[in-house]
Amino acid sequence: MASRRKKAERSQPEPERGLLALVRDDLAEQGISRPDEHDLSRSLHLLGEASVENVRTLQREFSGLGPLAGPLLDPQVTDVVLNGDGDVWADRGAGMQRVDSVKISAESARDLAVRMATMCGERLDEARPFADGVLRDLPPDVAAQAIRVHTLLAPPAAGGSCISLRAITGQRNSLDALVAGGLASREMAEVLRRIVRARRNILISGGTGAGKTTLLAALLAEVARDQRLIVVEDTPELLIDHPHVVSMATREGNAEGAGAITMTTLVKQSLRMRPDRIVVGEIRGPEVADLLVALNTGHAGSAGTIHANDPASVPGRLEALGAMAGLDRMALARQVIDGIDVVLHVSRTDQGRRLTHIGRLVGDERARIEVLWQWRGGIDSGGGEVAEDREAFEEFCDELG
């Protein structure tokens, strides 16, 4: 302790090194790579810099978020992005808005991107200038349970490095929370509960940031506790309030391209793991073929998400993914119609994220969407929620039991 104190005293005349560097040196001497609040407080005390604000600042630095932690202190923020020009933008549910209080230089942006990727256990350098991951060891004042991270160096990014962050908040992942947030009315939330309990296979569609993952997590929280969920994701971000969840994530290959684990591989493995329900975080490639096999072979109540700007685009999107898997149109149509029981579509509207459509896939040689229910701008069931075909929708609800 005495030697550390003397070293700290000698370090005081070197302000250009910065407080972060001095604390990092002290922690390295102790063999601490992931300091907690007490570790930081002890180091700051030795340096004569102990304060709550310094502890909070260093927590943000050591988490990997650095200055980008600031916007994430707001629980309404879902996304934060750093552009190549150094500007930072945040989405509080009504589209991206510039964060004027934060500006990051190109050099600092690169260092931040590399540090963030490293904290996620990913490689980021000139040979592999992009990385995906999840930060879970967050500062206590950040209003999220985890942060999904995408980093991109310059080049190929123009100007400077780019960072995209998505807040993952388990507290929002219940149907009651989604009702409180306006994504669905209480009446429609009850319909969703019945869909889950009836073990219908669900496909959730929507655009970027529309709430697909949030809705999926809320639905999975309604699954009976004696059922086993096997979850397959590209980047792990589903936080599910359920006691029996096994999660798997893809893996990039090494520098020689070896060791990669694809979504297709993981979906195949999930079939051998005694699942009650199989969940695919987002269907975006040939794994659609293996998922459709699962949906058609007894894994009732399985689910997945797919990117589509509107419900009518879902069949075409499935056809495109099926083509990647070598499925012809007719074979795909039969498996889709037989395997997917309900399509839930979510959208970003001027009133926030909303469940806007409930439908099903029908047809013969080619699948098409049949919309059973649609939200048209009302906030509750009495003001804009419409059964497109009331008789068909009532029949659908009756079948749920």
Residue 155: asked if its preceding bond is cis (omega within 30°), the reply is yes
| Fold assignment, 170-400 | Rossmann fold (3.40.50)
66-168: CATH topology is Beta-Lactamase (3.30.450)
pLDDT for 48:
74
How many whole angstroms separate alpha carbon 274 and alpha carbon 299? 10
- 3-state secondary structure at position 371: strand
**Is residue 15 classed as helix, strand or coil in its secondary structure?**
helix
**Residue 382: predicted pLDDT:** 45
Q: Which two tokens stand for residue 333?
A: 């149509």
Catalogue the long-range contacts made by 283-286 (C-beta closer than 8 Å, 24 or more residues apart): 283/321, 284/234, 284/321, 285/321, 285/324, 285/325, 286/321, 286/324, 286/325, 286/326
SS3 category, 54: helix
User: Cα(116)–Cα(150) distance, rounded to whole angstroms?
Assistant: 9
Angle between helices 287-295 and 329-339 in degrees, nearest 10: 40
Nearest CA to 63 out of 34, 20, 91, 25 is that of: 34
Listed by start position, the domains of the chain span: 2-62, 66-168, 170-400
What's phi and psi for 9, nearest 5 deg? -65, -40
Tens of each residue's pLDDT in the chain, 401 residues = 445 544 444 444 333 347 777 877 777 788 777 777 777 878 887 777 777 777 788 888 888 888 898 899 888 898 999 998 889 999 987 788 999 888 888 888 999 999 999 888 888 888 889 988 888 888 888 888 889 999 999 889 888 899 999 988 765 678 998 998 889 999 999 999 999 999 999 999 999 888 899 999 999 999 999 999 999 988 888 888 899 999 998 887 776 667 888 888 998 899 899 999 999 988 888 888 888 888 887 789 999 999 999 999 999 999 999 999 888 888 889 999 999 999 999 998 888 889 999 999 998 878 999 999 999 775 444 445 666 678 888 888 888 87
**Burial readout 253-278 (b: 16 or more C-beta within 10 A, e: otherwise):** eeeeeeeeeebbbbbeebbeeebbbb
Residue with tokens 């991107």: 113
Q: Report the alpha-carbon distance of residue 367 to residue 256 in Å, rounded.
A: 41
For residue 380 the two structure tokens come to 């509750």
- Whole-number pLDDT of residue 380: 46
Please tell me the pTM assigned to this model: 0.80
Contacts of 245 (CB under 8 A, 6+ apart): 220, 229, 231
Non-local (6+) Cβ contacts of 119 within 8 A are 63, 64, 133, 135, 137
